[in-house]
């Protein structure tokens, strides 16, 4: 496990998926406070060939993983349950709570919606997400958090690529416990 207050990392493409038009995805994560996690995603490549609709008003939405989105999975150290957060460049977001690996899925009750900002150029797409952990007691009471970082990228033809810190054997599975490889200590 890696431990850091702030950490830059590079996501790797799943071996069974196409990487084009994306040349890389980097992520910086840090705890700004005991209840605020900052996730800054940076997609590099031919952004014009990445399918991204125009940004609208920020709102909660399901099924974001079916198109271009960035994800963070968060678990309290030593806990079986975890939370999943999805962020789309259209400023849509989703938050779910699981009691165990892919079990007991329910919408997470957040006290504040994630804050999202998106910047786009011809060769880079940046999405900054501020995740408010207030009210998510298992996370706020933990001495450390385990994270799995991921991205789903849809190209202009509808092809999908899957990026994460670690890929367990088999098809892409961001929920797999082996993907929770980053550790952040609460301040």
Burial bucket for residue 16 (CB in 10 Å: 0-12, 13-18, 19+): exposed
Residue with tokens 């031919």: 46
Domain with residue 48: its CATH number is 2.60.40.1190
Residue 27 · residue 40 · CB < 8 Å: yes
The token duo for 132 is 């408010």
Domain count, the chain: 1
Q: Which of 9, 24, 145 is nearest to 85 (CA)?
A: 145
Show the domain range for 60.
Answer: 2-185
Per-residue confidence of the chain (187 residues) as pLDDT tens digits? 343 467 899 999 999 887 678 999 999 999 999 899 999 999 999 999 999 988 888 999 999 999 999 999 999 998 999 999 999 999 999 999 999 999 999 999 999 999 999 999 999 999 999 999 999 989 988 999 999 999 999 999 999 999 999 999 999 999 999 999 999 987 7
Angle ∠(38,42,90) on CA atoms, nearest 5: 80
């Amino acid at each position: 496990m890696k431990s850091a207050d702030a950490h830059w990392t590079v996501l790797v493409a799943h071996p069974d998926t196409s990487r084009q038009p994306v040349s890389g995805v980097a992520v910086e994560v840090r705890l700004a406070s005991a209840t605020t996690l900052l996730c800054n995603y940076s997609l590099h490549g031919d952004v014009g060939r990445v399918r991204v609709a125009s940004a609208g008003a920020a709102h909660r939405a399901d099924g974001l993983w079916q198109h271009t989105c960035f994800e963070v999975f968060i678990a309290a150290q030593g806990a079986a349950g975890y939370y999943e957060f999805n962020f789309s460049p259209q400023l849509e977001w989703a938050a779910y709570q699981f009691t165990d690996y892919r079990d007991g899925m329910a919408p997470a009750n957040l006290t504040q919606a994630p804050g999202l900002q998106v910047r786009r150029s011809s060769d880079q797409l940046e999405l900054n997400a501020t995740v408010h952990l207030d009210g998510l007691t298992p996370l706020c009471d933990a001495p450390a958090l385990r994270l799995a970082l991921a991205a789903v990228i849809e190209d202009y033809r509808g092809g999908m690529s899957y990026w994460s810190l670690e890929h367990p054997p088999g098809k892409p599975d961001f929920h797999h416990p082996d993907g929770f490889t980053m550790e952040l200590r609460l301040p």
